Structure 1
């Protein structure tokens, strides 16, 4: 993960890396927030925020360019494999938010004492699920490419990025509805309405309170342990 390391381009947003292909571009009013986890108790606090800008997804990385740049914040980028625990939160009111724990890279402008930072991207004009689906697909392809390279003699640093793209992937479609589904359902006797209410009330509609915080802390602990072993 890097702050202000992206080479900007007036027309195309940013300068592409070798064999880098653009997969997704968000609408222009996309927000970004970057901060340490709530559990972090250290002194190296950072905070970057933008109320408007674009997020770009490529076969190499995620890039965000704010609409209004400042000396402190002109760009954000992160390699795909440095983004962990990614998911979309869909609140009852307001825009959908894509969240991720980001593992900093050496020399990227983030203090080394931070094993991970929390990234939130708010899609005010839609596109969160489209972005997330494409992100997960290309990240999996990149992970497989790294794994194959690791098992070969080329080494991890020599992944052929020209082969990592989303070409020829089937377009996403919603769940397939069986045209005979209604007849099939009618073959079953209707359930008692009181039993249905009891079942609905007893089944939680979402994760338990504090689940996201526990999940984030678990991932952060794992990243911190990786840094400790590497040092």
Structure 2
């Protein structure tokens, strides 16, 4: 029986990565650094999950060793400034939820399903986005940031979300937009619906059981990329329940974690 839905945040609830990139660049300027991450570079850096980890990777791979050694101790300061910049930018950015997200959340809430977030993003970032997109609340669990030591693609953050929800992996579905996120959810035993984001157009999402352009709306059907067609071209809660049951029947070992 389907009891819970677990959502990734960035790229899944909304196309937030351009805002994150702008916030990083603002933090660099505030720190007196001449770095500027363009869209192509940031797309590569997104393969590293976690903003602090992304900064450390950038220092190690894109800056000279002496500069990296000098600036590594400033990473917490720079990352904190980036988080503040992101929260501030959200207040003025015309950010919209991805198609179908709020509809499905409302359907799940009305049906009594539990809802969770599983993300490597900083808790302040998550809170600011949820306040913007879902001001009435509704998420029972938020597993974010450094709540776990091992970031995606490790399954730890999804395992934590399941534990806090009090449901088994076989009783939940995860929603993701990246290969790392899908591997994290699948590693925790979850079935996954993937909706590719603009920030990661070339990510391989084949490990998800369903891939659609977005969750769709009755008046604006999504594009099917992989997996079964969804009735009416949108992921509704009744269709999701049926799909989830078929996943369990096809692979009963999945979800036993």
TM-score (norm 1): 0.23
Q: Which structure: larger Rg?
A: 1
* Greater strand content: 1
TM-score (norm 2): 0.22
* Greater helix content: 2
Higher relative contact order (CA 8 A, sep 6+): 2
